[in-house]
A and B are shown apart, each in its own frame.
Chain A
Amino acid sequence: MAETSFEFRLERMFAEAPPAPDADLFTLQVLERLDRGWNARRLLIGAMGVLGGLIGGYEILSTGVTGQVTGYFGQANDFLARHVAASVSGALAPGGIYVDVQAIWLAGALLVVATGFGLARLVREI
């Protein structure tokens, strides 16, 4: 009986814990670590999305859809794209390396995706 009483008392003593003076700081640290985990996941999901987008983009390009789309846009648009490609080639590769028009479109699409991610992050931070 005395043994049980002592054990019960011991359990109650273990259950008693004085509040730590830095409880708020501890809470903040836990939440920060939680955020870090979420950010890593978001980054991973974003990276997977970009990878998926690239694969999808490659598949679309390889089916020749871009050729048809380019046709719809007409010669003026084609001229513009080629002009941009030539400018980019000149700026990025003065040695004369050819930059494909499709690569320009793809880079533009990726830029849009990256801007979207950036905006989403900015909105979340605000």
Chain B
Amino acid sequence: MTTQRTLAGVHDLELVALGRTGDRAAFGELVRRHGSAVRALVRRMGADAAAADDVAQDAFLSAFEQIAEFRGEGAFRTWVSRIAARLYARRWRREARAGLLAEGTDADDPSRALGADARIDLDDALKALSDPERICVSLCYGVGLSHAEAAVALNAPLGTVKSHVKRGLDKLRSRLSPDGDGGRRRQVGG
């Protein structure tokens, strides 16, 4: 059994290979590395902190079960994030919030508007979106699903997903642009 110290410098793919052999320490290192990102993604999709942790944990457990299916063609983080996003989408549907996917919902709810002096970053900007817009945008730009894949994940018509994504993008653009509502935009690294 490998120790956490020796695993710190090991590449994700090697950790996955160790995880395939049942090495829980190696899988734990993957969770430690990517847990924050997965939890943040689910929160950005609209989950509260507790629900986000639940979904992220389920996603990692599911990832461990299916680890043999991970071929290393993409990043491990992307793979497990997609699992988490789909799990949250399913949960969201189950909680009967999917009715919100209908057109013309609370997209323009003024209570979602940000204060002018609010610090504008992605997390804040996402709060200006309705739940359906938020989850659709997160699925497409957070984990890179196509509109069609997002529609399948949400069990919603493709056209509805597209329109939610478009409206969500418009709102985010206005919030995140230098001359948007918040006035200040977050510097993006790189």
Contacts and interface: CB of A to CB of B under 8 A. Distances in A.
Contact of A31 (B31, B141, B172, B190): B31
Interface string B31-60: 110011101110010000000010011001
B61 A10 contact: no
B64 A17 contact: no
A18 B37 CA distance: 7
A94 interface: no
Contact of B32 (A6, A14, A27): A27
Contact of A12 (B57, B64, B138, B190): B190
Interface residues of B, number: 33
Given A10-B141, A31-B24, A31-B28, A17 B60 contact: no
Contacts of B173: 6
B35 A20 contact: yes
A66 interface: no
B36 A20 contact: yes
Contact of B40 (A10, A17, A34, A37): A17
A26 B27 contact: no
A26 B186 contact: no
A39 interface: no
Contacts of B8: none
A22 B56 CA distance: 14
A42 to B, nearest CB: 13
Interface in A1-55: 6-7, 9-20, 23-24, 26-27, 29-31, 33-35, 37
Contacts of A33: 57, 61
B96 interface: no
A27 B35 contact: yes
Contact of A26 (B24, B31, B122, B189): B31
Q: Interface extent on A, as a size class?
A: 20 to 34
B83 to A, nearest CB: 13
Contacts of A12: 188-190
B41 A26 contact: no
Contacts of B44: 14
Nearest to B122: A13
- Greatest chain A CB density within 10 A among B35, B56, B169, B190 is at B35
Contacts of B189: 12, 16
B142 interface: yes
Contacts of A26: 31, 35-36, 39, 53, 56-57
Interface of A: 6-7, 9-20, 23-24, 26-27, 29-31, 33-35, 37
13 contacts: A6-B176, A13-B188, A14-B44, A17-B36, A17-B39, A20-B39, A26-B57, A29-B57, A30-B57, A34-B27, A34-B61, A35-B24, A37-B61
